[in-house]
Amino acid sequence: MTRKPKYQELEERVEALEKEVAESRRTKHELSVVYDALNSSMSGVIITNLDGRITYVNAAFLRMFEHEDKAAVLGENAATLFATATVKRFSDVKAIIDEKKGETEEFAAQRKDGTTFPVEVSSSNVSDDKGNIVGRIASFIDIAGRKQAEEALRESEQRYRHITHATTDYIYSVRMEDGRPVETIHGPTCVAVTGYTEEDFKGNPNLWIQMVHKEDRKSVEKQAVQILSGAKVEPIEHRIFRKDGVMRWIRNQFVPQYDSQGSLLSYDGLIRDIHEQKLAEEALRESEKNTVPWSKTL
């Protein structure tokens, strides 16, 4: 004869069921929040199973890859999202994630129509409540615009280099970190103007100011302080002593480079030897001094 459960046992069972229902509701709510967050994300997001088959995609992913419906990609191997060259490097998304787990990597992705575009992919494993890996999640950022901007910047910098090299006798570059100069690189033509080689400047960090005429050092130091403080810096003309002891006039102009936050990344010093120009100006002044005004000859 089967024993009937006692009232207390029934209460315990009911209480356990209520807890399960509450836990289920909470889990559903948490999942709903997660899925809402994924769907509202600006990044394209996919989730795959351990075989690399896509089990979830968000709205941003569909827009990025130009798919109208999730049904077109669910169940597909995630390797189909990448261009041929990427698929050859990695047999599937699992290989991508295993090699660059938790990191961000750039790949060539492939849209529905076969056109390719650069993406930044970050990925990680998905685990169940027991810690077992049950799938993988990856986010995609379309970086085509950024790549175009970077290419435009490179072209602009190249044009700048061509112009400055055509109008400058030599260039030195100062790299900044945390607002301080940490490295100065002198171009190879520095020896033609100063007599000092790149190795001379590397071996003596203070050579840049030591070779300046004592009467001009304050203005040169002031110019250096201004560029570091973010102030507008005008070109200055000053004298230096070459390695062979010969004095020369030079023109020193700074060209700063800033990051997107306005912090100084580096600056170039454009050096032009103006010694002959200065001699000509001095000769003209002397000539004007010795010239008798025409009116006084009358």
Model confidence pLDDT, tens digit, residues 165-177: 656 788 899 999 9
Q: Are residues 279 and 155 in the same domain?
A: yes
User: Looking at the DSSP assignment, which residues form a beta bridge with residue 19?
Assistant: none
Percent of the chain residues topping a pLDDT of 90? 36
Q: Are residues 279 and 221 in the same domain?
A: yes
Q: Are residues 128 and 188 in the same domain?
A: no
Residue 82's domain comprises: 41-142
User: What was the pLDDT predicted at 13?
Assistant: 67
Give the whole-angstrom CA distance, residue 150 versus residue 232. 26
Q: Are residues 173 and 230 in the same domain?
A: yes
- Which has the higher per-residue pLDDT, 59 or 100? 59
- Per-residue confidence at 25, pLDDT binned at 50, 70, 90? low
With contact defined as beta carbons under 8 Å apart, do 209 and 221 qualify? yes
Q: Are residues 155 and 138 in the same domain?
A: no
Q: What value does the mean pLDDT take over residues 161-188?
A: 83
User: Is the residue at 190 inside a domain?
Assistant: yes
Instruction: Answer with the one of 97, 123, 142 that is the final residue of a domain.
Output: 142
> Which domain CATH number covers 54?
3.30.450.20
Terminal-to-terminal C-alpha distance of the chain: 149
Listed range (133-147, 210-224, 276-290) with the worst mean pLDDT: 276-290
- Which has the higher per-residue pLDDT, 21 or 152? 152
- Which has the higher per-residue pLDDT, 101 or 55? 55
User: Is the residue at 54 inside a domain?
Assistant: yes
Q: Quick check: pTM over 0.75? A: no
Q: Are residues 87 and 138 in the same domain?
A: yes
Q: What are phi and psi of 179, to 5 degrees?
A: 80, 5
User: Is the residue at 34 inside a domain?
Assistant: no
User: Is the residue at 224 inside a domain?
Assistant: yes
Instruction: Answer with the one of 108, 142, 176 that is the final residue of a domain.
Output: 142
Name the domain count of the chain. 2
User: What was the pLDDT predicted at 194?
Assistant: 95
Instruction: Say if residue 238's pLDDT is above 90.
Output: yes
Instruction: Say if residue 226's pLDDT is above 90.
Output: yes
Q: Are residues 170 and 256 in the same domain?
A: yes
Percent of the chain residues topping a pLDDT of 70? 74
Instruction: Say if residue 91's pLDDT is above 60.
Output: no
User: Is the residue at 261 inside a domain?
Assistant: yes
Instruction: Answer with the one of 123, 142, 161 that is the final residue of a domain.
Output: 142
**3-class SS of residue 195:** coil
Q: Are residues 162 and 260 in the same domain?
A: yes
User: Is the residue at 33 inside a domain?
Assistant: no
Listed range (94-103, 237-246, 286-295) with the worst mean pLDDT: 94-103
User: What was the pLDDT predicted at 22?
Assistant: 60
Q: What are phi and psi of 258, to 5 degrees?
A: -115, 155
Give the whole-angstrom CA distance, residue 211 versus residue 15. 88
- Which has the higher per-residue pLDDT, 4 or 162? 162
With contact defined as beta carbons under 8 Å apart, do 58 and 44 qualify? yes
User: What was the pLDDT predicted at 74?
Assistant: 93
Closest CA to 240 of 221, 218, 214: 214
> Residues 279, 285, 291, CA angle at the centre, nearest 5°?
135
**Exposure b/e, 128-159, CB count within 10 A at least 16 = b:** eeeeeeebbbbbbbbbeeeeeeeeeeeeeeee
Q: Are residues 277 and 188 in the same domain?
A: yes
Q: Are residues 121 and 159 in the same domain?
A: no
